[in-house]
């Protein structure tokens, strides 16, 4: 397989579409936690109950299509190798938690990979829907339709007072996590982001690195999401997130302009040095790769670098993760072997466009 | 004073350790305190476990005893999770747990969800049919009050008719 083909598989088809403000917002995502009322939650359910849920979902929804998201494929997690599981996590199609399950669990993925429905994660169902760029309202509207479509056949655990009942008290109510993935290099360089995070937290929103809880922001990509799920409507939660993300977009643009005005040469130097590292290094660790990719992507956004397409950040952030590298090599690799392969993959990717 | 573990950094922390009844004084730096386990650091991020434990132990001893007694009795009829297990893992075992542990939930939700304890969002389309209509009727009633206050009687009449129609729908379902 050529690198081009491999790359095409690494990137979910929906990611190739441009969305509003996609110079800064890489994607918008909404996830809903839902449970069947008649079964215990996955942490306590019998294997046979989990099996029931899994096969029910398979029978009802495999090969079904939901609107324009195309046909669903049903993938049992137990049948996947550790590397395959990891690849799904790196593509953000399943959560790290689902990848670790050894009980009966699965995922339904739409052909364009915009929709995935995790089965027997912490909750019986986790519906996840992505849109490119800044499109939270659209994503909310669509995830509601998906939810209604499922609810025709599933008896949801719902209580008038507490809303959608979930395994963890932190998800009860709407069961919703809405999030936006943002590339904020200028706010990160000027340290402004650190000063903004406490204020964002006070609004009931959380800022974290891209691979979920506890991970640092790799390549200046931050995920902003709601923390509160009870007592506020989904629309209000999305509106809050939308306005905070809108502020961040504005501040990021201002910071980029200011850097361009005040220290264009230094910025250009930094962007080209990072480009040089990506184009010529023979060994590169994932952290350095992510930070160089962030610089190059900013260079593209600012028109400093012209012969590389914008999708390079999204593509290589996924491609250079350990799971993908090992899938590409078709064998397991020690960390130092990965650093060598990562460097060569990046070099090849950059040459594809030169 | 230098750290007695690494002998490099200054000792900034002082502990009294009791092993088999023998007291020893320990002078260490912060790094060694963490590495050698003199100090336990809270897990990174948000720990629901600590939160729940805090809630149950913040009462005085008398209340604690009663709480303990109730805790040992309280068990979810569907999934068999006990209150003390719920407290330990910080997760519900099934949807029935919400009713079983109802008396203990408000303070937990209040802390986790900025003071909120009741749902104000989406209602399932099929299962929540009546509930949806009732919420809509409530919303119309608020609107009706507002219209009457503003003396917009014509619009108020329209809203009143809508309420009547919806109420008929709920009544019809029950019959
Ligand atoms: Zn020391
Ligand atoms: Zn239960």
Kindly report which listed range (A153-157, A162-166, B47-51, B97-101) carries the lowest average pLDDT score: B47-51
Q: Under a CB-based contact definition with an 8 Å cutoff, are residues A298 and A24 in contact?
A: no
What is the ipTM for the molecules in this complex?
A: 0.88
Distance from CA of B141 to the nearest CA of A (A): 19
pLDDT at position A212 = 42
Mean pLDDT, rounded, for A55-84? 92
Instruction: Report which of residues A236 and B24 the model is more confident about.
Output: A236
Residue of B124, B127, B130 to mutate when probing chain A, most A C-beta within 10 A: B124
pLDDT at position B46 = 43
**Does the pLDDT of residue A44 top 90, yes or no?**
yes
Whether residue B151 is found in the same domain as residue B117: no
A229–chain B Cβ distance below 8 A for any pair: yes
Mean pLDDT, rounded, for A203-220? 72
CB contacts of A172 in chain B (<8 Å) are 98, 109, 119
Is residue B44 one of the residues assigned to a domain?
Answer: no
Whether residue B132 is found in the same domain as residue B105: no
Is residue B84 one of the residues assigned to a domain?
Answer: yes
pLDDT at position B67 = 57
pLDDT at position B36 = 67
A42–chain B Cβ distance below 8 A for any pair: no
B108 by DSSP, 3-state: which? Answer: helix
Side-chain half-sphere exposure of B113, counting CA atoms within 13 A: 28
**Does the pLDDT of residue A156 top 80, yes or no?**
yes
pLDDT at position B1 = 77
CA separation for the pair B5, A296 (Å, rounded): 45
CA separation for the pair A61, A144 (Å, rounded): 17
Mean pLDDT, rounded, for B67-76? 70
A54 is in an annotated binding site: no
- Computed over every residue of chain A, the mean pLDDT equals 92
pLDDT at position A174 = 98
pLDDT at position B168 = 82
Which of B103, B121, B139 is the last residue in one of the domains? B121
Q: Which of B94, B109, B120 sits opposite A169 (nearest CB)?
A: B109
**Does the pLDDT of residue A215 top 80, yes or no?**
no
A210 is in an annotated binding site: yes
Is residue B53 one of the residues assigned to a domain?
Answer: no
Percent of chain A with pLDDT over 90: 77
Q: Which domain, by its residues, includes B137?
A: 128-171
Span B29-61, pLDDT tens digits: 777 776 666 654 433 334 555 555 555 544 455
Nearest CA to A264 out of A220, A291, A293, A304 is that of A304
Q: Under a CB-based contact definition with an 8 Å cutoff, are residues A110 and A70 in contact?
A: yes
**Does the pLDDT of residue A213 top 60, yes or no?**
no
Q: How far is the first Cα of chain A from the last one, in angstroms, to the nearest whole number?
A: 20
Percent of chain B with pLDDT over 90: 29
**Does the pLDDT of residue A302 top 90, yes or no?**
yes
Kindly report which listed range (A138-142, A256-260, A314-318, B76-80) carries the lowest average pLDDT score: A314-318
pLDDT at position B18 = 55
Tokens of A329: 């090599």
A145–chain B Cβ distance below 8 A for any pair: no
**Does the pLDDT of residue B62 top 60, yes or no?**
no
Kindly report which listed range (A1-10, A106-115, A220-229, A326-335) carries the lowest average pLDDT score: A1-10
Structural domains counted in chain B: 3
Whether residue B115 is found in the same domain as residue B137: no
Tokens of B34: 């963490």
| Chain B (83-122) residues lying within 8 Å, Cβ to Cβ, of chain A | 89-95, 98, 105, 108-109, 112-122
A172–chain B Cβ distance below 8 A for any pair: yes
Q: Residue B70's pLDDT band (boundaries 50, 70, 90)?
A: low
Give this prediction's pTM: 0.81
pLDDT at position B42 = 37
CA separation for the pair A295, A290 (Å, rounded): 9
Alpha carbon of B30 to those of B3, B6, B77: distances in Å? 9, 11, 48
Angle between helix A322-329 and A335-352 (nearest 10): 80
CA separation for the pair A215, A237 (Å, rounded): 24
Distance B105 CA to ligand 2 centre (A): 14
**Does the pLDDT of residue A124 top 90, yes or no?**
yes
Q: Which of A41, A163, A214 sits opposite B119 (nearest CB)?
A: A163
pLDDT at position A352 = 83
Q: Under a CB-based contact definition with an 8 Å cutoff, are residues B79 and A44 in contact?
A: yes
Instruction: Report which of residues A336 and B132 the model is more confident about.
Output: A336
Span B76-110, pLDDT tens digits: 999 999 999 998 899 999 999 999 999 999 999 99
Is residue B66 one of the residues assigned to a domain?
Answer: no
Mean pLDDT, rounded, for B105-118? 94
What does residue A140 show for φ and ψ, rounded to 5 degrees?
A: -65, -45
Residue the block writes with tokens 């809508």: B162
Distance from CA of A143 to the nearest CA of B (A): 12
Span A73-105, pLDDT tens digits: 999 999 999 999 999 999 999 999 999 998 999
Mean pLDDT, rounded, for A240-249? 96
pLDDT at position B41 = 41
Kindly report which listed range (A183-197, A207-221, A288-302, B47-61) carries the lowest average pLDDT score: B47-61
A203–chain B Cβ distance below 8 A for any pair: no
> Domain residue spans in chain A?
264-352
CA separation for the pair B157, B76 (Å, rounded): 49
pLDDT at position A5 = 82
- For A147, name the nearest residue in chain B, comparing CA atoms only: B124
Q: Residue A340's pLDDT band (boundaries 50, 70, 90)?
A: very high
């Amino acid at each position: 397989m050529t690198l081009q083909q491999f790359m095409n598989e690494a990137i979910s088809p929906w990611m190739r579409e441009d969305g509003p403000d996609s110079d800064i917002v890489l994607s918008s995502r909404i996830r809903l936690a839902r449970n069947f009322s008649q079964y215990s939650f996955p942490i306590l359910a019998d294997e046979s109950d989990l099996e029931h849920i899994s096969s029910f979902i398979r029978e009802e929804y495999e090969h079904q299509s939901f609107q324009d998201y195309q046909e669903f494929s049903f993938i049992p997690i137990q049948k996947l190798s550790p590397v395959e599981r990891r690849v799904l996590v790196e593509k953000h199609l399943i959560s790290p938690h689902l990848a670790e399950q050894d009980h009966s669990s699965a995922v339904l993925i739409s052909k364009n990979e915009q929709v995935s429905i995790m089965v027997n994660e912490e909750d019986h169902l986790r519906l996840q829907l992505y849109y490119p760029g800044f499109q939270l309202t659209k994503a909310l509207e669509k995830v509601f339709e998906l939810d209604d479509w499922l609810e025709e056949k599933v008896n949801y655990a719902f209580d008038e007072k507490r809303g959608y009942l979930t395994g963890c008290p932190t998800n009860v109510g709407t069961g919703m996590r809405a999030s936006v993935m943002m590339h904020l290099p200028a706010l990160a360089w000027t340290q402004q982001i650190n000063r903004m995070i406490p204020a964002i937290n006070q609004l009931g929103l959380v800022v974290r690195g891209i691979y979920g809880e506890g991970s640092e922001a790799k390549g200046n990509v931050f995920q902003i999401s709601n923390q509160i799920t009870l007592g506020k409507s989904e629309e209000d939660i999305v509106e809050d997130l939308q306005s905070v993300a809108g502020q961040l977009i504005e501040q990021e643009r201002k910071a980029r302009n200011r850097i361009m005005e005040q220290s264009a040469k230094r910025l250009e130097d930094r962007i080209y040095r990072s480009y040089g590292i990506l184009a010529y290094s023979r060994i590169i660790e994932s952290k350095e790769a992510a930070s160089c990719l962030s610089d190059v992507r900013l260079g593209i956004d600012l028109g400093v670098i012209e012969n590389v397409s914008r999708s390079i950040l999204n593509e290589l952030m996924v491609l250079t993760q350990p799971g993908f590298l090992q899938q590409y090599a078709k064998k397991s690799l020690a960390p130092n072997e990965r650093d060598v392969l990562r460097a060569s993959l990046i070099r090849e990717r950059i040459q594809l466009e030169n | 004073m230098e750290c007695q573990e690494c002998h490099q950094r200054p000792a900034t922390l002082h502990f009294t350790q009791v092993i088999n009844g023998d007291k020893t004084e320990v002078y260490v730096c912060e790094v060694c305190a963490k590495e050698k386990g003199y100090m336990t650091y809270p897990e990174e991020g948000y720990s629901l476990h600590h939160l729940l434990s805090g809630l149950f132990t913040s009462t005085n001893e008398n209340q604690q005893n009663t709480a303990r007694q109730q805790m040992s009795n309280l068990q979810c009829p569907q999934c068999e999770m006990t209150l003390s297990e719920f407290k330990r893992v910080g997760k519900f075992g099934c949807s029935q747990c919400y009713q079983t542990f109802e008396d203990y939930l408000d303070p937990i939700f209040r802390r986790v969800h900025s003071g909120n304890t009741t749902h104000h969002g989406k209602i399932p389309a099929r299962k929540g049919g009546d509930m949806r209509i009732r919420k809509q009727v409530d919303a119309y009633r608020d609107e009706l009050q507002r219209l009457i206050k503003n003396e917009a009687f014509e619009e108020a009449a329209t809203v009143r008719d809508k309420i009547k129609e919806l109420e008929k729908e709920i009544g019809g379902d029950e019959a």
